[in-house]
Structure 1
Amino acid sequence: MNLRFSTFKKVCYTVLLSLFFTACASREDVVYMQNAKKFETVVNTDTFEPKLKVDDILSIYVSASDPESVKPFNLIKGITNTGNPQELDYLIDKEGNIDFPVLGKVELVGLTTEQAKQKIREILQKDYLKDPIINLRIKNFRVTILGEVNKPGTYTVESERVTIFEALGLAGDLKIKGKRDNVLVIRDFNGTKTYTRVDLTSKALINSPVYYLTQNDVVYVEPNKSAITSASLDNRVTIAVSILSMLVTSAVVIITNSN
């Protein structure tokens, strides 16, 4: 009995010792913008503006000194619960155009919102209105954050100008086991997809073409080695618990039979 029990203890020790390993993350794995110097000043000269894409949904409202003259250009699709008119939205079609009241097809794809406003203003001013004012915004400006973040999902952005850090902030920031030096940004422009990887731990990120996100960008944070090791460890723990359970059952049987 003693020999069997001694063997049992040795097996238990072996199983437990196999679990005594873990992967620890270092400062270099988790800190953002590590190479930014103390009191360093960088002037951001980036004048980034998102460009309009196929399938963008636009809100466009025309105003002028004569309210009656702009009515044909401000169609409504209904009345809200508060009694206010609900303006018609405009979809950029596969050819890059919107179908605008009176004007017909107007090509806007590839333009910034300011350029699009200027184009519509010039057309209206030429033949229809005096000094029209165009309010235009992208209604489907959203980004999707996936992977090792605290709140993965799709987030609507109100400002039409959002950095990758701001977007990750919407998702509750990266988990401690998110890989910060190899974040993937997937961008689609009229059917052409680009895949760009960036390093959040380097200040060089601010010069990346994906530092500012565009509408419908997807940001994916992959798990680091620690997360992968942890997942593997969880599987091994499950197996080890099963083995220990069987060993304990066997030990009880051995002790019972010995008595």
Structure 2
Amino acid sequence: MIRRLFFSICLLGILSSCVSKKNISYFQGLNQVHELHPDNNLEIQPDDVLTIRVSAPEQEAALPFNLTKSVGSMAGGASVANVELETYLVANDGTIQFPVLGKVVVEGYTNQELSLKMKELLEVYVQDPIVNVRILNFQISVLGEVRSPGTFSIQDDHISLSKALGLAGDIPLSGDRTNVLVMRQDNNKIVHEYLDLTNPEILESPFYNLQQNDVVYIDPNGPKRQTAGYLGTASTYLSIFSVIISLVILLTN
């Protein structure tokens, strides 16, 4: 009877450890999706911090448009002064104050669009200008049931949900892939959407491509939540019954 009971408990533990592919595989049925939306580049918003670098064949002509600041650092015990570009904080009205040009509307433009706009404005003063725009405060947070939760600074001008999960070490088997929460701020409101990573249709969601300060939260799955409870999952019961059986064997011998 003890051997049958032990066999049943082992079988229960094996069955409880089986995970369906349907619950863990990303983008199932992707071959049925015929049209994918490209990555949406970020649009500049109020409170964004920008760097704008202007260069030209005659570099001296571009100097007035590249404000710099001195930043001190230590090297070999000595203080070293480094020169960095000044940053531009986007005001609440969506503008920045740029040298010579004055107030420039930047809200709603992507990096590339603003680069082209600034190029057109600067052609009056500089021949063949080249303008590079970068958003410095592009950060996203990935929290919950991931291997390396945290806040990540993004160097590119766009990042998808799958890339963000890659930065966080991906979702372990204990995470719920079918109910991923993405939260973002939109005009002083918090908007959100739940995405199912096993469904390729999320590629068409506006929340799949993340924006500044988006928060991604992965909920633990059912077995993980149960583990956090008082008795835990079947593996916990297996451990308890194993101890009981061992005691029974010792007492009956």
Fold conserved between structures, TM > 0.5: yes
- Band the TM-score falls in, shorter-chain normalisation: 0.7 to 0.9
Q: Which residue of structure 2 aligns with residue 98 of structure 1?
A: 96
Per-residue displacement from partner, 1:37-93 (whole Å, max 9, x unpaired)? 4xx785645252111111111111011222121111101011565765211111112
Offset at residue 167 of structure 1 (A) = 0.4
Return the match for 1:65 from 54, 57, 60. Answer: 57
Q: Which residue of structure 2 aligns with residue 180 of structure 1?
A: 177
Where structure 2 has 5 or more consecutive residues not aligned to the other structure, the ranges are 1-8, 74-79, 241-253
Alpha-carbon distance in 2 for matches of 1:123, 1:146: 42
Alpha-carbon distance in 2 for matches of 1:64, 1:91: 24
Offset at residue 135 of structure 1 (A) = 0.8
The DSSP-based 3-state class of the residue aligned with 1:232 is coil
Return the match for 1:150 from 147, 150, 157. Answer: 147
CA contact (8 A) 1:23 1:229 kept: no
Larger Rg: 1
The alpha-carbon distance between structure 1 residues 188 and 201, as it changes in their structure 2 partners (threshold 3 A), is: same
Q: TM-score, normalised by structure 1?
A: 0.75
Per-residue displacement from partner, 1:213-238 (whole Å, max 9, x unpaired)? 1221111111222121111145798x
Alpha-carbon distance in 2 for matches of 1:227, 1:69: 62
Alpha-carbon distance in 1 for matches of 2:72, 2:35: 45
Alpha-carbon distance in 1 for matches of 2:112, 2:105: 14
CA contact (8 A) 1:144 1:216 kept: yes
How many residues were matched structurally?
Answer: 222
* Alignment RMSD: 2.9
Offset at residue 115 of structure 1 (A) = 1.3
CA contact (8 A) 1:53 1:189 kept: no
Alpha-carbon distance in 2 for matches of 1:94, 1:41: 40
Where structure 1 has 5 or more consecutive residues not aligned to the other structure, the ranges are 1-16, 242-259
Q: Which residue of structure 2 aligns with residue 164 of structure 1?
A: 161
Alpha-carbon distance in 2 for matches of 1:191, 1:139: 21
Return the match for 2:20 from 3, 17, 26. Answer: 26
